Amino acid sequence: MKYLITGLGNPGTEYQNTRHNIGFKILDHLASQESLQFEAAKHGSIALFKFKARTLLLLKPNTFMNLSGKAVQYWLQQEKIPFENQLVLTDDLALPFGTLRLRGKGSDGGHNGLKSIHEVTSRTDYPRLRFGIGAEFGKGHQVNYVLSPWSSAEDKQLPERLDKCVELVKSFATIGISHAMAAFNNK
Catalytically active residues, by annotation: 20
Task: Name the pairing type of β-strands 100-103 and 128-132.
Answer: antiparallel
Cβ proximity of 38 and 58 under 8 Å: yes
Burial class (CB in 10 A: 0-12, 13-18, 19+), 70: middle
Distance CA 51, CA 48 (A): 10
Angle between helices 112-121 and 68-78 (to 10 degrees): 50
